[in-house]
Structure 1
Amino acid sequence: MLKKLFRRIDAAFSFVEDWSLLIVVAVALLSGLLNIILRKATPYSLYWSDEVIRKAIFFCTYIGCSAAIKQRALIRIDAVPQIIPVSRKFFNVINHLSVLVFSGMLTWLGWKMMVEVRADEFATTATLQIPEWYFYAILPIVGVMMFIRTVMLLTEDVFNLSGDDTQEAANG
């Protein structure tokens, strides 16, 4: 039952990550490409293109953190478990706990930042005048996603719920 719940949560998070990243990267790529073409072929340029690309990089960085957890691709203590194989499970738990602390702080501090920026009516992007709090809202959302994904991986690792020998072989 727990594995089924984890699969559903993973599917929902993966859907959000994949499609949001696809859309944001496509918009950034198209605006950048169009700006380059306009700059080279005409005397005009898109004054807002750089801002769109900067915000897309910001968005992709944080959403990518959640996706990296799923792939077990975050930075981790790697050398010691390879030298001393019996320490592998211990360091996996330490890594997961570190990510839980980080994601908890990201959620809490991100929420506080978003609320503060939301209260400032003049906090808008420089060129498009989009309220900045929209961009800060990604911090607590991703923090929660990272926390949930990490709890899922921690549970799988501690209770050997993965049932996937290839995943276990990849981890150790």
Structure 2
Amino acid sequence: MLKKTFKSIDRIFLVVEEWSLFSATCVALLTAMVNVILRKTTNEYSLYWSDEVVRKVIYFSTYIGCVAAIRSRSLIRIDALPQMFPVLQKPLSQLAHLAVLLFAACMVYVGGQMTIMMYQDQYALTPTLQIPEWCFYAVLPLMGLMMFFRTLITMYEEWTGNNDITGGK
């Protein structure tokens, strides 16, 4: 039952991660490319808002990319000690997972508070596009929740020795 639930969550997260990252990157790439073409071919036309779009996409892809990194087990960690002392590999791995769970919980709480604060501030808009900032801050608690569940799935796979949910190492 737990394995089936984790597999469902994994599939949903995978679709959200891949398509949102793909879409956001395409938007940033096309916006930047059109702006460069306009700047180089004309002297009078430019997309004054393209830099803001690229900045927001980098912000978004950094946070959602953290979730994808957990799935592929590519999240940064110190691995020298487990290589020197293989007996410490499992305990240190679990300690790293607990640290990620704590970070994810902080992101949900603090990110949620920041999102609410930005939502209540009617003047908190992006400089050029005038999009409410809370839309971008909402990525923080979303990323925290996704990281939390991805880490739980990874911990479950390591505990059971069964890596067929995410296809991990």
Distance in 1, matches of 2:5 and 2:161, equals 16
Distance in 2, matches of 1:145 and 1:72, equals 14
**Unaligned 5+ runs, structure 1:** none
The superposition leaves residues 50-77 of structure 1 with CA deviations (integer Å, 9 ceiling, x where unpaired) of 0000000000000000000000111112
**2:31 paired residue number:** 31
* Paired residue secondary structure (1:34): helix
% of aligned pairs identical? 51
TM-score by length of 1: 0.93
RCO (CA 8 Å, sep 6+): is it higher in 1 or 2?
2
Partner AA of 1:21 in structure 2: L
Partner AA of 1:30 in structure 2: L
The superposition leaves residues 94-121 of structure 1 with CA deviations (integer Å, 9 ceiling, x where unpaired) of 0100000111101100000000011000
Residue 52 (structure 1) aligned with residue 81 (structure 2): no
Distance in 2, matches of 1:55 and 1:47, equals 14
Shift of 1:161: 3.1
**Unaligned 5+ runs, structure 2:** none
Distance in 1, matches of 2:97 and 2:26, equals 32
Partner AA of 2:21 in structure 1: L
**2:4 paired residue number:** 4
**Which stretch has the larger CA shift, 115-124 or 148-157?**
148-157
**1:158 paired residue number:** 159
Structural mapping, 1:51-90, within 5 Å: 51-90=52-91
* C-alpha RMSD over aligned residues: 1.4
**1:41 paired residue number:** 41
Query: After TM superposition, what 4+ stretches of structure 1 lie above 6 angstroms from structure 2?
Result: none
